[in-house]
Structures are given as structure tokens and as C-alpha cells.
Amino acid sequence: MPELNPLYPIFLKAHQLEFLIVGGGYVALEKMEFLLKSSPKAKITLVAPFLREETKAFIKDKPVCVIKRRFRLWDLRKKNIVIATTDSPAVNQKVRLACNKRRILVNVADTPDLCDFYMGGIVTKGNLKIGISTNGKSPTIAKRMRQFLEGFLPDEIDDLLNTLRDYRQTLKGDFESKVIEMNERTKLLLEEKND
């Protein structure tokens, strides 16, 4: 029997959370790009003794608070999610242990065993968002699946979502009857598309 991915996907309202990224190198830049592409209003604090030029250029016009020094425990104050991206395993472990003690979710880049969550691939077409996870086994496959789905899904998918929302608002009855009707309606749409 094949191994099953035990992760539970959720979609966070990132603009309502406080993110901390520890480190200022290429990995920090990659994580910020990923986060801000998906959630442009995410609140990010970056703490690092130095920043690469590419990182400086990227955050120049972004809502990122930069603290130019080494990580301190105080940096975790009022943070909800932390991403450790330093090239020092000792610093990353310190960040992880401090987060675990405070019940703050933490991702230690490129170290799946130290992560509470992974940052998987994300496909976005209008209001449709699909998360892709390989359970930390192959970020490259998640990336390729994202690219495939972005090319496969029509740009007009948002029109369909708006039509279905408008239709749902016209339905009468209790929640259960609305769910049944919407299931039937969307089933018909898929059958028509496959014919």
C-alpha cells in the first residue's frame, strides 16, 4: 500500500498574521517572494545581520519590516509564524526550540524534520487557489505540478466561480439543501465539460 501524505492543508488569512523570517540570504528571499506572491498584504518582519543585494532590491517597495542584527528571542514577540532561513544549523535550532516553547508555528528551510509546516506549491487563478504538497519529499515536483496546473486551468475560471456564487445566493432552504443543489449543479457543469 502506498504511503499517504498525512499533512492537513489550510489556507491562512496571511494579512491577519505576523510573520518573522530569520535570515537575509537567498532562501529568505525565496520564502518572501513565495509568501508575498500568494498573499501580497502579508505582514513580514525580517531579522538578519546582513541582506543580500537581491533581497534589498526585492523588499524596497514591499511592506517588510527589516531589523539588521542577529536573531534575539524578543523577535518572537507577537509573531504567529516563523521561517528560519539562516545557513547556521545552531541558529535555526535555537529559533525552532524557542518557537516550540511559545507554541509558534515554525518552518526551518530545507530541514523537514524541524518543520511544523511546509510551504508547498500554490496555483492561483483569480479566486481559485490550489495547494500542492509532496510531504517535503520533492519541492521540484510540487513546482512542476504548479506550472502544469497554471497552464491547464483556463483564465476564465474566475467567471465560473462568480456565476456559481451568484447562483448559490438565489437558493432557498437550509444549508444542507443548498449544498445538495450546488453539488448537483457543479456535477452537471463537469459532465457538460467532459462531453
Residues 135-189 pLDDT 10s: 878 888 988 999 999 999 998 999 989 988 998 899 998 999 989 888 888 887 6
Query: Where do we find the cell 445538495?
Result: 180
pTM of the predicted model as reported, rounded to 2 decimal places: 0.85
Give the domain 120-153 fold.
Answer: Double Stranded RNA Binding Domain (3.30.160)
Mean of pLDDT over the chain: 91
Superfamily of domain 14-118: NAD(P)-binding Rossmann-like Domain (3.40.50.720)
- Domain parsing of the chain, residue ranges: 14-118, 120-153, 163-194
